Amino acid sequence: MAGQIVEQQIEKIYQEALSQVQTSSQVDQVQSLMVQYLGRKGMVTQFLRNVSRLPAEQRPQAGKRANDVKKVLEEAFQKRLQEIEGSQIAEDTGIDVSLPGRATFRGSVHPITQITRRISDIFSRMGFDIAEGPEVELDHYNFECLNIPKNHPARDMQDTFYVSESIVLRTHTSPIQVRYMEKHAPPIHIIAPGKVYRCDSDITHTPMFHQVEGLVVGDGITFGDLKGILTAFVHQMFDTQTSLRFRPSFFPFTEPSAEVDILCVMCRGKGCRVCKQTGWLEVLGSGMVHPAVFENVGYDTSRYSGFAFGMGVERIAMLKFGIDDIRKYYENDIRFLKQF
């Protein structure tokens, strides 16, 4: 019975203090409430002091409750003081500083950048360095040094953006191979990510897109090394169930050349719309570096051999994220970009 009375006492003090603080509108009102309740002779303080006089079995409960009340009231007083100050400033300046701030919109890394970083990570861990080159490129590097003759279809005005007769927007990242070899002696193991440009636009082509080039040169580099590196890459990029298929192909700067398909990541080889019922998806071009390219950079072709490859980042991103229209990546629709 006595315990209940004690309890009622502290609850009463608590409720009164709360309702008084809510209705006070001046700083000095709140300050005097603080003295009245929490000051040296304040009601909560007094109560706490008297706890020691209570019967032993009531002390812990009453002490704890009084301490909680003290804490909550301290916070309530502080909060009210801030509110009053805020509304004072609002009155003076017309700005309500007590309003919560507007949440800032946080951006995210573009899916193409994410995939480029992932590709770079995988190759970096295998010991590759990262190289770069200019997007506005000399015809000399974009075509000539890569053994692409003047009459090659890739040079067609319909494919290439010409800046002048001898300057183009690079149509692939392969010129970086040549620029790098001019400055470095073997052994070389680089990848070169970057933007490339072609006059082309439909659901699988945009006039600007991204590639990652790869180049390895050294003593006794073989096609087996090419297969090993690309297999390790695909297994890390997708998974170890994703097998690879090398198909003979042609590129002027590699001999022999191969296009690489991976087992369709959607249907696992059964045949679907994405792989056009073939069960395979083409993901990159590759081959052994053509001796003519080595000669253009002054490498000893009797000593060195190497392989190169080039892949489209959008293509890998489309497969990885299951997006079938490449243009979505460039429409800047926040609802699309937010999902990655």
Binding site for ligand DAH (CB under 6 A): 172, 174, 213, 251, 254, 285-287, 308-310
Residue closer to ligand DAH, measured from CB, 172 or 210? 172
- DSSP H/E element including 214: strand 208-219
Phi, psi values for residue 289, rounded to 5°: -55, 130
Phi, psi values for residue 312, rounded to 5°: -90, 125
Residue closer to ligand DAH, measured from CB, 44 or 258? 258
How far apart are the C-alpha atoms of 176 and 181, rounded to whole Å?
8
Percent of the chain that is helix, strand, coil (3-state, to 5): 45, 20, 35
CB of 200 to ligand DAH, least distance (A): 12
Residue closer to ligand DAH, measured from CB, 24 or 142? 142
Q: Measured between alpha carbons, how far is residue 327 from residues 196, 206, 275, 314 in Å?
A: 15, 7, 19, 10
CA 323 to chain centre: 17
Strand, helix or coil at 243? coil
How far apart are the C-alpha atoms of 283 and 225, rounded to whole Å?
18
CB of 98 to ligand DAH, least distance (A): 59
Q: Is 190 exposed, middle or buried (0-12, 13-18, 19+ CB in 10 A)?
A: buried
Dihedral of alpha carbons 271, 277, 280, 281, sign = negative
CB of 288 to ligand DAH, least distance (A): 8
Residue closer to ligand DAH, measured from CB, 43 or 288? 288
Residue closer to ligand DAH, measured from CB, 174 or 242? 174
CB of 253 to ligand DAH, least distance (A): 6
CB of 197 to ligand DAH, least distance (A): 11
**DSSP state string for 76-120:** HHHHHHHHHHHHHHHHHHS--TTSPPPPPPP----HHHHHHHHHH
CB of 117 to ligand DAH, least distance (A): 20
Residue closer to ligand DAH, measured from CB, 162 or 250? 250
Helix and strand numbers (H, E) in the chain are 11, 9
Residue closer to ligand DAH, measured from CB, 24 or 174? 174
CB of 149 to ligand DAH, least distance (A): 15
CB of 146 to ligand DAH, least distance (A): 8
CB within 8 Å of 306: residues ≥ 6 apart: 186, 188, 215, 216, 217, 218, 221, 288, 289, 294
Residue closer to ligand DAH, measured from CB, 24 or 147? 147
Residue closer to ligand DAH, measured from CB, 256 or 271? 256
Q: Token pair for residue 319?
A: 């497969």
**DSSP state string for 291-334:** HHHHHHTT--TTTEEEEEEEEEHHHHHHHHHT---GGGGGS--H
